[in-house]
Every structure is written in structure tokens, then in C-alpha cells.
Amino acid sequence: MKILVTGGTGMVGQAIKNVMNERTDSHEFIFLSSRDANLTNYLQARKLFRTHRPDMVIHLAACVGGLFKNMNQKVDMYEKNMLINYNVLKCSHDFKVKKVVSCLSTCIFPNKTKYPINETMLHDGPPHSSNEGYAYAKRMLEVHSRMYNEQYGDNFICVIPTNIYGEHDNYNLEDAHVIPALIHKCYLAKQKNEPFVVFGSGKPLRQFIYSKDLARLMLWSLLEYDKKDTLILSVGEKQEVSIKKVATLIAEKMDYKEKMTFDTTKSDGQYKKTASNKLLLKQYPNFKFVDIKEGLDNTIQWFIDNYDSCRK
């Protein structure tokens, strides 16, 4: 099978590269970046599909950003993601791609909801206003996929990972997610012999999935999962950990725990976003997740070894 991976040079794409040889089956992978085609442009997207003629697609490409970008560029976030997703699905259908797995995000679930979140609750209410442009575009990707399945019998599915971390992440202090930001902050604090300051109390809880686990699950979703239901890809509720726990593990790995402090004048944000992985475990009951300490140790060591060249 020829498998096309959009957004293939990001953290998850790199993780797929690292785990694809673990499988016994053999496939040809094509990892695309924005340099290969502007997927917001239909003609460029169509040319790309005509050139490669993929059998399957893993769709990771998206216009993403931190809180500031999501709040202040809502039109861009909505329109660019709508165009990317439309073009990828349209071309996948037109070129008779056998299966597409598209990646969503738990941040697109309703702002006001019950916990744990499950797959049936995606459209139960509006997302948080701060990221509504991105969230609605991603929700429409799920709707669009389902409509292709219903009208044409295509096999376009969506997966929803929880908070992803791992090697090849974005470690920029301005718009990185919590784990890469904490890793970078601790590294700099140790270099300067300054306090490692964690914003907030550290009490909020999150479910973190290691990028290589997500890569393994995405390949399983593409090659073995035989249903068309949207799936949350996450560790279980019992593996939910506090930001304090994560920060402590990072500080311990960097041998800097004694200099860690919490700035409780900063907001904690949402206390929890618990998601259920019951549907995943029903389909793949034997999957073993990497423990967060092991995943963090790997990620931190990679960051230190690649500090000069990583995204920051």
C-alpha cells in the first residue's frame, strides 16, 4: 500500500516514521510538508494526489497556533483549515483512496460538557470561544468525512487524540503546549541557575499521550480498525496526571527539582478535560501505553540532544 501522510514532518509524522518499521506488514510511505504543496490550494492538492496516487491517507496537516493566534486570527484559522480539509477529502474521493484517517483534537469538544467526554458528544454545544475558528473547522472535517461515507461508501474516519507530547515537538515558549514549554523553561532555568517557575498551582489534570503511542494507534486505525466510528485515542482516566506531577518529573530528569516553584498568581485554566477511551479499548484491548515517566525521559533527552536544531 502507498500511504500519503499530510503534515508528515511534524511531531506525529516524525513519530510515524519512527514506529512504522515495528509492524510486520510493509508499506510505502510518503511524508509531505508544506514545501511539497499548499493544501489550501485545490489545484496544488490535486496535482499532488495525481502525482503520488496514494492508496491510503493519514491526514495530519492543519493550520495551528497557540492561544493568541486562535483568539486573534479566527477567520484565518477557520478558512485555512476548512480549505485544507476540503481539498484533502475531495482529492481522496476523486482519486479513489481506499481509506483516510484524519486527526482531530479534544479541544474542539463543547466548552460546557459532562465528563468523561466521549465520541458522541462532539457536536453537543459550542466550543470555547477562544479557539472556535479552529474547532468548527475540525468539527466539519468529521461531518464531511461522515457524509462521504454515507453518500459514496468511502472509508474516511477521524481520530481524536488527547494532549500529545514527544520528540520533534514545538518548544517555543510563546505558543508551545504545556509539556514542551515546561521542558524548555526548566532547561533554561538550569542553564541560568534561576528558579524553574511553573505557572499556576499545578493542580489541573490532563491525559497525555506519547507521540509514538499515537503513531502506533493511527497506523492501527488505518490498517486494522474495520469500523467507521470516530475514535478518541487516549490513555485511560486513571492515567490522568496533574501539571505538578509532570513538572516534577521534568525537574527530576534535569536534576533541578530543588529550584522548582509555582506562580499561583497565574491562572490554572480549565481544571480537567477528561476523555473516555472505552471505545478504543473495546476495539484494541491489548494496547500498552508508554508510561509518562518513560515518555518524558525520552522527550527530554531528545530535546537536550537536539537543542540547537529543534523548533523553539
CATH number at residue 196: 3.90.25.10
Quick one: cell of 225?
A: 480498525
Residue range 279-296: mean pLDDT, rounded:
97
Residue range 297-307: mean pLDDT, rounded:
97
Number of Cβ atoms within 10 Å of the Cβ of 143: 12
Whether residue 279 is contained in a domain is answered as: no
Of all residues in the chain, the percent with pLDDT exceeding 90 is 87
Whether residue 284 is contained in a domain is answered as: no
Task: Verify that 44 and 158 share a domain, yes or no.
Answer: yes
Task: Verify that 153 and 173 share a domain, yes or no.
Answer: no
The reported pTM is 0.94
Supply the pLDDT for residue 272.
86
- Per-residue 3-state assignment (H helix, E strand, C coil) for the chain: CEEEEECCCCHHHHHHHHHHHHCCCCCEEEECCCCCCCCCCHHHHHHHHHHHCCCEEEECCCCCCCHHHHHHCHHHHHHHHHHHHHHHHHHHHHCCCCEEEEECCHHHCCCCCCCCECHHHCCCCCCCHHHHHHHHHHHHHHHHHHHHHHHHCCCEEEEEECEEECCCCCCCCCCCCHHHHHHHHHHHHHHHCCCEEEECCCCCEECEEEHHHHHHHHHHHHHCCCCCCCEEECCCHHHCEEHHHHHHHHHHHCCCHHHEEEECCCCCCCCCCCECCHHHHHHCCCCCCCCHHHHHHHHHHHHHHCCCCCCC
Task: Verify that 193 and 46 share a domain, yes or no.
Answer: no
Among 134, 136, 171, 225, the active-site one is 134
Whether residue 283 is contained in a domain is answered as: no
Q: What are the distances in angstroms from CA 254 to CA 11, 26, 179, 241, 250?
A: 22, 38, 14, 19, 6
Whether the per-residue pLDDT at 299 is higher than 90: the answer is yes
Domain count, the chain: 2
Whether residue 286 is contained in a domain is answered as: no
Of all residues in the chain, the percent with pLDDT exceeding 70 is 99
Residue range 180-204: mean pLDDT, rounded:
96
Whether residue 280 is contained in a domain is answered as: no
Across 90-104, 166-180, 265-279, the highest mean pLDDT is recorded for 90-104
Residue range 251-256: mean pLDDT, rounded:
96
Task: Verify that 220 and 86 share a domain, yes or no.
Answer: yes
Residue range 38-48: mean pLDDT, rounded:
97
Which pLDDT tens digit goes with each residue over 155-168? 999 999 999 999 99
Which pLDDT tens digit goes with each residue over 95-134? 999 999 999 999 899 989 999 999 999 999 999 888 899 9
Task: Verify that 132 and 265 share a domain, yes or no.
Answer: no
Task: Verify that 106 and 195 share a domain, yes or no.
Answer: no
Number of Cβ atoms within 10 Å of the Cβ of 134: 26
- In the residue annotation, 86 being an active-site residue is answered as no
Whether the per-residue pLDDT at 69 is higher than 90: the answer is no
Task: Verify that 144 and 83 share a domain, yes or no.
Answer: yes
Whether residue 179 is contained in a domain is answered as: yes
Which pLDDT tens digit goes with each residue over 199-247? 999 999 999 999 999 999 999 999 999 999 999 999 999 999 999 999 9
Task: Verify that 81 and 170 share a domain, yes or no.
Answer: no
Give the confidence band of 267 by pLDDT, cuts at 50, 70, 90: confident
Task: Verify that 133 and 186 share a domain, yes or no.
Answer: no
Query: The domain containing residue 219 runs over which residues?
Result: 2-164+208-236
The mean of the pLDDT values for the chain is 95
Whether residue 196 is contained in a domain is answered as: yes
Residue range 62-83: mean pLDDT, rounded:
88
Whether residue 247 is contained in a domain is answered as: yes
